[in-house]
Amino acid sequence: MDGISRTIVVSGYYGFANSGDEAVLHAIVAALRDEAREAGVALRIVVLSGDPAETARLHGVEAAHRMRPLALLGALRRADALISGGGSLLQDVTSAKSMLYYLAVLRLARWLRVPTYIYAQGVGPIRDRVRFGPMIRSAFEACRYVSVRDEESKALVASFGVPAERIDVVPDPVMGMGLELARDGAAGVRGDVRSDDAPRIGVSVRFWRGDRRELDAISDALAAALQARPDATLALLPFHLPSDKQASDYVAAKLAAAGVPAARVELHPGAAHPRDMLRAVAGCDALVGMRLHSLIYAATAGVPPIAVSYDPKIDQFMRRLGEAPAGDADSLRPDALTAAVLRTLELGKADWYRGKSAQIEEMQQNSRLPAQQIFRGLRI
């Protein structure tokens, strides 16, 4: 294998200060580098990013600006493969423009005869199936390997005409970060070492409803949980800056108005590197989360996730754990969320993890399957 080198370009929602998407990139890069080391290959990774300098600094990769045609073209011309991967890239609920962008990158790679790979994507929801269905079918059929992160995504892609046998269902790449916790000696049910035994409840919120009713309900539920458990504290963990910091501030203000002492509520500043946020989550005893990747961080760190769902991807991930959300963002009952938090604290994360460890560890290992398939596809 001496002298073999490969250049892989990675396309996704990177360089936008979103801890979940940065974690996806970190996990993909780590998996690719592990495979390259095993194959004895010198690997060059170029990431298409909204902030190339920050992406290069955080992940130790090369980066090109995703919206500058010459930079994009230059990256692909020298590539041995393009990965379109991680996150909910192909959906038209938040914006149809992003869907068109990611499909256009795949098409450009095809024009340049660069092999393309779909890496653990969550596909959908897609409202305009007539418009986007044929485009997705064309893009996926041209790929050497296709993997998605849940059965619902597979069913949707297959409904557009892509043969189901060509679509692998794999865990979200971020599940693989739990393997890094194990290597760092902070694995599983232990989490970060703390100076006290008081239970800590992690909280990841985002803005969703214009009237903030979901955040009001979450705040009421947390205030009641803290009243029932006077030994417990909260850690507000913003995953997408600056918006999640503002949502966390909103919850903190509601808790203060409900009489919760400021000393019992910690507001995390947010973390640039995914490993730092993962360690913060690992130090919790339960995590109430709206963000998908806050729930994935929790599970892979052995922390019980308590979901407030606003998107089918939340329900899909919780089902893989054999769990269900505590409620829906549009109709959340505070008493139901309070009860879920108290039950989880009573059970304890050690007992929770013992009951889930086999499936979590399987998901962690299987999260690396797309990287293995890509190196096989490159005939290394």
Map out the domains of the chain with their CATH numbers.
5-171 (3.40.50.2000), 181-363 (3.40.50.2000)
* Cα–Cα distances in angstroms (integers) from residue 170 to residues 93, 140, 207, 333, in the given order: 23, 16, 29, 33
100 CB-near residues (< 8 Å, 6+ apart): none
Phi, psi at residue 265, to the nearest 5°? -125, 115
In percent, how much of the chain has pLDDT > 70? Answer: 95
Strand 62-65, strand 5-11: pairing: unpaired
- Burial label for 316, CB within 10 Å (0-12, 13-18, 19+), is middle
Whole-number percent of the chain with pLDDT over 90: 85
**Residue 17 carries which DSSP code?**
S
What mean pLDDT, rounded, does the chain reach? 93
User: For residue 188, how many C-alpha atoms fall within 13 Å in the half-sphere facing its CB?
Assistant: 14
Strands 233-236 and 145-148: unpaired
User: What pLDDT does 95 receive?
Assistant: 80
Q: What is the pLDDT of residue 190?
A: 40
64: tokens are 């090109």
- Torsion angle of the four alpha carbons 27, 33, 36, 42, in this order, in degrees rounded to the nearest 10: 140
- At residue 194 the predicted structure's pLDDT band, cuts being 50, 70 and 90, is very low
User: 302 — alpha (psi -120 to 50), left (phi > 0) or beta?
Assistant: left
Q: Is the pLDDT of residue 236 over 80?
A: yes
- The span from the CA of 320 to the CA of 231, in Å, is 32
CA nearest to 39, candidates 71, 66, 83, 8: 8
* Complete DSSP assignment for 212-281: -HHHHHHHHHHHHHHHH-TT-EEEE--SBTTHHHHHHHHHHHHHHHTT--GGGEEE----SSHHHHHHHH
Enumerate residues 6+ apart whose C-beta is below 8 A from 173. Answer: 24, 27, 28, 31, 85, 86, 119, 120, 367, 370
pLDDT of residue 378: 83
Reduce the DSSP state of residue 301 to 3 states and report it. coil
Q: What is the pLDDT of residue 191?
A: 43
Mean pLDDT computed over 241-260: 97
Report, as an integer, the average pLDDT of 293-298: 96
Alpha-carbon distance of 239 to 206, in angstroms, equals: 8
Q: What's the CA gap between 223 and 82, in Å, rounded?
A: 47
pLDDT of 282 higher than 60:
yes
What's the rounded Cα separation, in Å, for the pair 26 and 177?
Answer: 8
The Cα 350–Cα 286 span in angstroms is 11
pLDDT per residue over 329-371, tens digit each? Answer: 999 999 999 999 999 999 999 999 999 999 999 999 999 999 9
Residue of 258 and 185 predicted with greater confidence: 258
**Residue 35, pLDDT above cutoff 90:** yes
**pLDDT tops 90 at residue 189:** no
pLDDT tens digit sequence for 50-102: 999 999 999 999 999 999 999 999 999 999 999 998 888 999 888 889 999 99
More confident residue, 270 or 284: 284
Strands of the 305-309 sheet, one edge to the other: 265-267, 233-236, 200-204, 286-289, 305-309, 327-328
Mean pLDDT of 156-164: 97
Per the listing, tokens 């998901």 go with: 363
The strand pairing partners of 203, in sequence order, are 236, 288
Place of tokens 């203000």: 253
Q: Which residues are paired to 269 by β-bridges?
A: none
